[in-house]
């Protein structure tokens, strides 16, 4: 993800609060592209004329600076290396900005935002991800409200402290912890849900922060990481999964980590081939993590007979983590010291609010 060299000022305010808006692509900045069929095709557009599209930005109490990628990306094309580029951009500019808004395609927002939550350690400033289900140029769009409110949250400081100093996702009036949210609808404006953690804030006539749910900056000095282990695979169990299918999905000799998406509270088939296959993976050094296919609830390995064989095979319970958070966390833990020295310990430890430890 390469960024334009010259960010430009969208709005100047006498209040001196600095917000950097990072445009990566996504539906918010898309428009109707050329097509030979009758179907309208959305393609990324240049986002440089933001204040013309949203003149309300000129009334906000913040200096708003915009930086965009050289080429807008559909979020389906965003990769972990792009997460690192975003973390570096933010990490190297924290002395200049009080808050950040990342405009990102909704399809993989939960992955990228979860990745940023781990890459930015000791964060004490808001990093608010948002996007839209309809482009800004659409007559009936959610883009305008999402953008304006996300900037307001990023700029919201009370008693010299940010009101929401963590990586979050703002969408349709709700502020979610980034590594607890997931996209659950492709057509409605309320596209995101956080089943296992309450909202950080709700935006109606005013923005109401639920301060008890927001992470407080600790004593850890801020730093950003620039490494992720990408040799990770995911296997989603389904009724009747064949041994040959499982072997095909786990046969990569370079694989360092495997995430199992299991049934219910962490259950999987008890077919006789599965336990030896898992033991073999663990023996060769592959870290195997168990998360539930259910959007809510938690994994409790051993609660049912159909998960005892996973636990005895060396599979790690993923608690109430989402798949998106589990993937990002595993990439982070296996890619960085000191975490990769004891991945089981850190995967089961709450690092950024992504896991309810007592529910393991």
Residues that are catalytic: 27
Distance of CA 42 to the CA centre of its chain: 23
Non-local (6+) Cβ contacts of 337 within 8 A are none
**Radius of gyration of the chain, Cα coordinates, nearest whole angstrom:** 21
| CA–CA separation, 133 and 107 (whole Å) | 10
For residue 332, give the nearest of 109, 142, 117 by alpha carbon. 117
* Structure tokens that stand for 58 in this block: 């000129």
User: How many CB atoms are closer than 10 A to CB 55?
Assistant: 10
User: How many CB atoms are closer than 10 A to CB 94?
Assistant: 16
Query: Residue with structure tokens 């046969």?
Result: 251
Instruction: Give the bridge partners for 121, in sequence order.
Output: 223
User: How many CB atoms are closer than 10 A to CB 186?
Assistant: 9
Query: Residue with structure tokens 């982070």?
Result: 332
| CA–CA separation, 203 and 226 (whole Å) | 34
């Amino acid at each position: 993800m390469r960024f334009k060299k010259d960010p430009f000022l969208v709005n100047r305010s006498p209040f001196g609060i600095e917000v950097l808006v990072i445009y990566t692509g996504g539906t918010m900045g898309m428009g109707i592209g050329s097509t030979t069929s009758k179907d309208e095709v959305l393609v990324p557009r240049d986002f440089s004329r933001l204040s013309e599209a949203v003149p309300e930005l000129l009334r906000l109490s913040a200096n708003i600076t915009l930086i965009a990628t050289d080429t807008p990306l559909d979020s389906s094309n965003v990769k972990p290396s792009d997460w690192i580029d975003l973390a570096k951009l933010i990490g190297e500019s924290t002395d200049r900005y009080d808050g950040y808004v990342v405009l990102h395609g909704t399809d993989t927002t939960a992955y990228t935002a979860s990745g940023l939550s781990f890459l930015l350690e000791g964060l004490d400033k808001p990093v608010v991800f948002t996007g839209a289900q309809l482009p800004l140029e659409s007559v009936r769009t959610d883009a305008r409200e999402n953008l304006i409110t996300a900037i307001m949250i990023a700029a919201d400081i009370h008693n010299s402290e940010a009101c929401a100093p963590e990586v979050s996702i703002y969408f349709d009036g709700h502020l979610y912890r980034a590594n607890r949210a997931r996209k659950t609808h492709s057509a409605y404006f309320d596209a995101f849900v956080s089943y296992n953690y309450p909202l950080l804030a709700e935006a109606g006539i005013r923005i109401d922060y639920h301060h008890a749910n927001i992470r407080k900056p600790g004593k850890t000095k801020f730093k950003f990481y620039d490494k992720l282990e990408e040799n990770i695979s995911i296997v989603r169990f389904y009724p009747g999964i064949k041994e040959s299918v499982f072997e095909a999905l786990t046969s990569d000799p370079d694989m360092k980590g495997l995430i199992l998406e299991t049934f219910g509270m962490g259950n999987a088939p008890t077919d006789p081939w599965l336990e030896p296959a898992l033991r073999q993976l663990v023996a060769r050094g592959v870290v195997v993590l168990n998360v539930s296919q259910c959007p809510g609830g938690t994994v409790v390995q051993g609660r049912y007979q159909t998960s005892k064989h996973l636990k005895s095979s060396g599979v790690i319970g993923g608690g109430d983590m989402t798949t998106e958070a589990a993937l990002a966390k595993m990439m982070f833990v296996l890619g960085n010291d000191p975490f990769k020295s004891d991945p089981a310990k850190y995967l089961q430890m709450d690092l950024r609010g992504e896991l309810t430890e007592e529910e393991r």
